[in-house]
């Protein structure tokens, strides 16, 4: 079982093996149920350990509808606490990040708390004599998340104390974090402390489905890719040299359908999915060769080649993450409403790698994933169009028929028979049904 919740919603007639009902995207009651049974019960990405390096460092985010604080304690551990003072309910931290000093201090009545949530001090304690107040009572501490764990520095929390441990939950999706960290000569990454934040006017599931949709890139992004290809060709003619890799980030979208159809997707338990890589990130320029030399020194040639030739482009950690490990970035998914989704776009440095390797990933961050790119604009427009169409009564079902029933399953992992198979969408909705109380 993925998790149990009160008042199960009957979704058996909403999700079929090759299609789902439009209400799964637009119905407010279903959305509310998703927050309770999926986001409030599974492991949700909170942040990276390097966001809170020193004791007292904190950052704020949400798990479903619950505001939380990730903080580094004096014990060096990372804690995740509900962002609420237990006295009168005031939010403890209103900034996105900062350092709380020696303790959290509520700005309303000056109650202070240690970074594990326990009470540090309360002003004018004599007023509590002969009352039911007991400083040792857990109801008077900042409430911690039921479970907190990290994998290779990526911190997750769960608001329930039952269910699989983090590593079991991640399963094959650990490839996202292993691939990113192993590409660092020092075996670790460090987050860049600012991110892009966007409100998408569409359901959160539409975004996740798009990430591993191999049919749409050459349709939706063809015009941008074609423009980049024209510039690439001109540079080669004028200089006789290969253009910078950054142009390839965009021109790759001109590849024919046959190319995309040869790619691989995998579907893992709990809804996680993987898309194989579709573009080369190893040009023979001096920067890449210098990086490869460092990797050979740190890992040995055979292991370094295994890492550098890793065949991953996207990994979805359902329901809260889209990770592009070879490009050192991820997008965290924070649902707001049936038709509103916050995405946070973070990027990372590979510890021990030359600065140009970071700059190369930064180019992709700006050219493809930032709010201002044509690529993102294309996607956001189509997400909105999908959501608006799903509101109408022009049809009741969303089709996931491509290669339905054809993708082989081995040891619980589904492998796509073609690159354009809609296997990832079916895999995510299989998990969705289990969380929501429907059939597997």
State residue 70's pLDDT score. Answer: 98
State residue 399's pLDDT score. Answer: 97
State residue 280's pLDDT score. Answer: 75
All structural domains of the chain, each given as residue ranges with its CATH number in brackets, are 44-158 (2.102.10.10), 172-436 (3.90.380.10)
State residue 8's pLDDT score. Answer: 53
State residue 9's pLDDT score. Answer: 56
DSSP code of 279? S
HSE-CB at 365 with a 13 A cutoff on CA atoms is 25
Residue of 349, 346, 326, 325 lying closest to 334 (CA atoms): 346
Low-confidence residues of the chain: pLDDT under 70 = 1-9, 438-440
State residue 7's pLDDT score. Answer: 54
State residue 278's pLDDT score. Answer: 72
Query: Which residues have a Cβ under 8 Å from the Cβ of 291 and sit 6 or more positions away?
Result: 353, 354, 356, 357
Q: Is 357 left (phi over 0), alpha (psi -120 to 50) or beta?
A: alpha
Contact 43, 150 (CB under 8 A): no
* Residue 309 CB neighbour total at 10 angstroms: 9
270's tokens: 């709990």
Q: What is the DSSP string of 387-409?
A: HHHHHSSS-SEEE--TTTTTS-E
State residue 4's pLDDT score. Answer: 45
């Amino acid at each position: 079982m993925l998790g149990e919740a009160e008042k199960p919603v009957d979704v058996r007639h909403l999700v079929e093996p090759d299609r789902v009902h439009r209400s799964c995207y637009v119905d407010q009651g279903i959305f509310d149920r998703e927050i309770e049974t999926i986001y409030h019960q599974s492991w949700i990405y909170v942040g990276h350990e390097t966001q809170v390096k020193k004791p007292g460092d904190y950052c704020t985010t949400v798990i479903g509808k619950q505001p939380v604080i990730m903080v580094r304690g004096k014990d060096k551990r990372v804690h995740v606490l509900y962002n609420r003072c237990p006295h009168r309910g005031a939010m403890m931290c209103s900034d996105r990040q900062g350092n709380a000093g020696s303790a959290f201090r509520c700005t309303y009545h000056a109650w202070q708390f240690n970074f594990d949530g326990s009470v540090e001090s309360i002003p004018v304690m004599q007023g509590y004599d002969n009352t039911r107040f007991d400083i040792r009572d857990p109801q008077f501490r900042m409430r911690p998340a039921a479970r907190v764990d990290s994998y290779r520095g990526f911190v997750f929390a769960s608001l329930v104390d039952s269910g699989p441990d983090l590593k079991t939950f991640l399963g094959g999706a650990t490839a996202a974090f292993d691939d990113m960290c192993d590409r660092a000569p020092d075996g670790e990454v460090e987050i860049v402390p600012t991110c892009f934040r966007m409100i998408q006017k569409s359901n959160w599931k539409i975004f996740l489905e798009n990430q591993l949709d191999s049919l749409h890139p050459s349709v939706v992004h063809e015009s941008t890719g074609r423009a980049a290809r024209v510039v690439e060709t001109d540079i080669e003619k004028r200089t006789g040299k290969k253009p910078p890799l950054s142009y390839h980030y965009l021109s790759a979208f001109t590849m024919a359908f046959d190319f995309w159809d040869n790619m691989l997707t995998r579907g893992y338990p709990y809804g996680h999915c993987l898309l194989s890589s579709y573009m080369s990130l190893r040009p023979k320029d001096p920067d890449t060769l210098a990086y490869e030399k460092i990797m050979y020194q740190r890992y040995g040639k055979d292991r370094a080649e295994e890492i550098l030739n890793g065949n991953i482009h996207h990994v979805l950690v359902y329901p809260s993450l889209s990770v592009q490990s070879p490009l050192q970035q991820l997008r965290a998914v924070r649902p707001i409403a049936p038709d509103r989704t916050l995405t946070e776009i973070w990027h990372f440095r590979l510890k021990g790698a030359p600065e140009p390797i970071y700059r190369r990933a930064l180019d992709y961050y700006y050219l493809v994933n930032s709010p201002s790119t044509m690529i993102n604009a294309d996607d956001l427009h189509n997400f909105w169009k999908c959501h608006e169409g799903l509101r109408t009564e022009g049809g009741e079902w969303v089709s996931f028929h491509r290669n339905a029933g054809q993708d082989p399953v081995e040891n619980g992992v589904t492998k796509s028979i073609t690159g354009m198979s809609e296997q990832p969408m079916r895999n995510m909705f299989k998990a969705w049904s289990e969380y929501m109380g429907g059939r597997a």
